[in-house]
Structure 1
């Protein structure tokens, strides 16, 4: 197995050679064998062990075992203890998902803190089969059936071509010791049910079942890559960046068939799960929205607006002339100048003596009105926004600069006529929105 492992590294994962590697080691069979193989292949690695504090003294014994293993290989070791159950409760996650999240967050922190290059995990071919069956049982697309990726960013899984039987036989032939996790025998968890009750039956269908499965999964992965290449090309054409948001023309989406599959392929990376609601947006009235945990999709006339859900910034802020104004939600610069220049979208010039300081920066409110620069009479902001064809997201992000209760500037859009510079103006204030 050592020779096969070395060949796999040389042919498929040669970028690992000469790099500093963190090997995620639980003390179980798979990760201990991986450590032995890495040592035999002269890879530069240290062990990283998570103590999830879920099995009392067993968890502590696992930690002690991994410490001894690091000493045997004369490599570095990093250990982190977690209160997994408390984290799961706080984040409303299953214990398994909480442990996974804690684990990978810590690995990422370690890579940055100690300047290692990659994390190695001991997932193997049987893990890929189990994951396939789990995703199949829950309902998934082709991506969920394509298997565990061998390389995912800085996470590398060099044992994926190897079966659990190969790993076990190697450990026995080399008299390798490892720790047994008593929870692996329990069928309380879905993965264990599949491992103990389903996989043996499938493997009994054919001696080459696992290898045939890996071949099929490889083909599925290639098909998924083709689909993703096509979807990325579509995104580059259909997804138009507009400030912080993405604008998608509905008529172009409606040309795509099968529509359901295209909507899923284009938007599933943004966390949406209510696909009927997403589809209904195409024919809904303007202002309708669908939310995921991270994004929102807004119907705005002939477009869908895709926007990340950012923390809501509300409040009132005061801005003094020639004086630091503290933390502001947007960057506004005020300065007194000698001469008047042409105003632009991000710059206005105002008559200082018409202003009451400090100026007020706030969100717009229902009933707000102003006197548009260059026009006679007042106008409600709601009517101004409609005339400007502003969507709901843009209106929510809009800031107003005010003098007392009077709007001075709809920031980045229109100044107020009442505060303009005239021939009689003696002092001029230049206000710049630094985007």
Structure 2
């Protein structure tokens, strides 16, 4: 098995003589196997190893035992070890992340800090083929393009993943044959997280009922898709130079020129728009195909139509095509933000979420631009299914809302028509019905009284 890992490292040019490798060691089977593979390679190559163990402040008792095991292992193998103690749960709450996401972020931060502090140039992680298969299935279920279908890259920047050529069971057999112990993270056995359910239910079913080599076949396919993705990215960059003006209005707005965009091969258009959104957002997480589709459909709307996209991105139809810009957030005057997404309605969906600060609207009947603002003269709202309208001022009077509080209430509006009096009432006109095909979800974040803390 070592020879396979060595050949995989050589294939992707992961390591060279003189490299200093930072290795993430949790104490689990995967990371322990990775450490022993690198120790074996160290006999043949001039590389040095520094181990990093991150104690997440979770799993009281067992996490301490994991740390003790890693300390003893590194001492026995004469490997320098750096241990980082973190409060992952507090970090997750502060950054508004899941505990899983927070843990990944903190590990990455500590690995990269150690890389700089120790003068390292590579960070080795213990992902294997089963991790890659989970990633593929998870991405496909959420909706993804070529990049997501390509799974985890073997080498990317400073990061290398030497075990991506192995299945999980091969790793366990390797350790068992050599009498090497490892820790078991009991949270991996729980079905709380989607990834755990894919790991414990979906993949075993595929291997047992469809094909015992399902994981290997998925890994081979992902490798082909990664190569195809690299080619597509190159072609997209060529067409993007013709279609996209990043310098429009001193860089504050980006223009996608319709005439040039329509000359682009259709297969390239969605990739171009996805890359554009990721570039403006400064990240890839939560930029999904439905956002790309909604942005592309804007070309068919009238001039002046605007849509809201993740990370405070606004896209508007203009005479030359589509303009995009990212709204500045965090000012004292605008403490409340509006998170928006559009998605297809399916037959098994509930009518709407029962959350005070998250509402669903029938996207198909919204004709103009939806904005978050305070009250203006002439505002009105539809209050029943017959379409009866009521002036906003009269609604406030009927609800006995004090005059001084009315100026502070946030409104989701289309012109003078109010879709939602945040914290109070939603317009009956835009309710999701059996005829709805696309849903606009709006979540209000940031305020302490008339907007949800988030």
Same fold (TM over 0.5): yes
Aligned to 1:3: 3
* Residue 8 to residue 276, structure 1, CA distance change in 2 (3 Å): closer
Give yes or no for contact 2:273–2:296 (8 Å, CA) kept in 1.
Answer: no
Instruction: Please list the CA deviations of residues 143-180 of structure 1 after superposition, one character each: whole Å capped at 9, or x if unmatched.
Output: 21111111121111110001111111110111111111
- In structure 2, what is the Cα distance between the partners aligned to 1:259 and 1:239? 14
CA deviations over 1:91-133 (Å, ceiling 9, x no partner):
2211111111111122222222332111110000111011111
Task: Establish whether residue 278 from structure 1 lines up as the match of residue 283 from structure 2.
Answer: no
> Aligned to 1:101, what secondary structure does the other structure show?
helix
1:222-237 to structure 2, matched below 5 A, reads 222-237=227-242
Kept in 2: contact 1:277–1:290 (CA 8 A): no
| 1:302 correspondence with 2:320 | yes
Q: Does 1:293 align with 2:311?
A: yes
Taking the TM superposition and a 5 Å limit, the aligned residue runs for 1:248-267 are 248-256=256-264, 257=266, 261-262=270-271, 264-267=273-276
Equivalence for 1:212: 217
Could you say if the C-alpha distance between residues 268 and 240 of structure 1 is closer, same or farther in structure 2, counting changes exceeding 3 Å?
Answer: closer
Deviations 1:175-203 (A, max 9, x none): 11111111111122211211111111212
Change in 2 beyond 3 A, CA 1:211/1:289:
closer
| 5+ residue gaps, structure 1 | 316-435
Change (3 A) 1:298 1:113: farther
Alignment of 1:303-322 (within 5 A): 303-310=321-328
- Structure 1 length-normalised TM: 0.66
Show CA shifts across 1:63-116 (max 9, x none).
111111221121211111111111111222111111111111222222223321
Q: SS at the partner of 1:35?
A: helix
Give the alignment partner of residue 91 of structure 2, picking from 87, 92, 110.
87
CA RMSD of aligned residues (A): 2.5
Alpha-carbon distance between aligned partners in 1 of 2:231 and 2:256, rounded to the nearest angstrom: 23
Structure 2 distance, partners of 1:241, 1:278, is: 17
- Pick aligned residue for 1:96 from 92, 100, 103: 100
Matches within 5 A, 1:35-434: 35-42=35-42, 43-204=47-208, 205-242=210-247, 243-245=250-252, 246-256=254-264, 257=266, 261-262=270-271, 264-270=273-279, 271=281, 272-273=287-288, 274-282=291-299, 283-286=301-304, 288=306, 290-293=308-311, 295-310=313-328
Give how far 1:41 is off.
0.8
Task: Tell me which moved more, 133-142 or 262-271.
Answer: 262-271
Compared with structure 1, are the counterparts of its residues 288 and 134 closer, same or farther at alpha carbon in structure 2 (3 Å cutoff)?
closer
Distance 1:311 1:280 in 2: 26
Q: With the length of structure 2 as denominator, give the TM-score of the two structures.
A: 0.64
Give deviations 1:295-322, integer Å, cap 9, x for gaps: 443444314334455567899xxxxxxx
Question: Considering only CA atoms, is the larger Rg found in Structure 1 or Structure 2?
Answer: 1
> Which range moved further: 34-43 or 107-116?
107-116
- Within 1, Cα distance between the matches of 2:216 and 2:138? 19
Inter-CA distance 55–14: structure 2 relative to 1 (3 Å threshold): closer
Residue in 2 that maps onto 1:399? none
Aligned pair in 2 of structure 1 residues 284, 114: CA closer, same or farther (>3 Å)? farther
Query: For residues 261 and 127 of structure 2, what CA distance do their matches in structure 1 show?
Result: 39
Offset, 1:288: 3.2
8 Å CA contact 1:48–1:79 kept in 2: the answer is: yes
State how far apart, in whole Å, the 1-side matches of 2:196 and 2:32 are.
20
When the two structures are aligned, how many residues end up with a matched partner?
315
Deviation at 1:263, TM superposition (A): 5.3
Q: SS where residue 41 of structure 1 aligns? A: helix
Q: Is the 8 A contact 1:231 1:265 kept in 2?
A: no
Matched, 1:21 2:38: no
